[in-house]
Amino acid sequence: MNLRLVFCLSDDSSNKRVTANKIKTYRKTGNKKEGRKWVVTIVLVTFVISAMLQMIQSGLMNRVNLIMAFIILSIFIAIGVLFDIIGVAVTSAQETPFHSLSSRKVRGAKEAVRLIRNADKVGSFCNDVIGDIVGIISGSATTAIVIMLFSLGYFKSEFVLTIVLTAVVAALTIGGKALGKRVAIEKSGTIVFTVGKIVSFIAPVKEKNTAKPKSENAKAAKENDD
């Protein structure tokens, strides 16, 4: 009897270990598949956004005057700083305050929760993807402005002009992001909520339909009558 009990206990513990190992393997496989899918998605999105922005920048720079060229460059720098602020805010914000807003059906609350729960992906997209793309395009815009200034005869040395403008753009970008990070941490909830409201118009979180189908309700009613 004791031997049988020992064998039962050993079988039970071994089954639990097998089940736990299966769960771990499933989670690892799922995480790997999800990670690969995310990498492929990021690569494709980066390619499309980069191509579109580069086309816009190249098309505009060839048709505008010097003042407009500086304005376009400033816009690209501002976009990089703005998305950096959003990325930092999402990773810093707390999810709890948005649950009560979500229960009251406040627009943007559910989207804010989704952003915070996917903070790693949102941060990667905002800080890495958009940040790197805008940085590259800002460099191209800077080169176009250097060519404009040199062709107009304002500067004699293209080399010195390139160094000065590149340094100015780098200082504005890094300084803007440094200031933006402080704002993003202090006002993370407000920023995420604002972004959530914008996302609610573009890609809203769908309501889960908890109601049973009519056929199931009719079947349940019939069983109760019987």
What is the rounded CA–CA span in Å between residue 99 and residue 93?
13
Do 115 and 94 form a contact (C-beta atoms < 8 A)? no
Q: Is the pLDDT of residue 212 over 60?
A: no
pTM of the model: 0.75
What confidence tier does 223 reach under pLDDT thresholds 50, 70, 90?
A: low
Residue 214 covered by a domain:
no
Question: What pLDDT is attached to residue 6?
Answer: 42
Residue 60 covered by a domain:
yes
Name the residue range of residue 123's domain. 52-205
Q: How many distinct structural domains can be found in the chain?
A: 1
Closest CA to 170 of 73, 50, 82: 73
Residue 9 covered by a domain:
no
pLDDT in tens, 82-135: 999 999 999 999 999 999 898 898 999 999 999 999 999 999 999 989 999 999
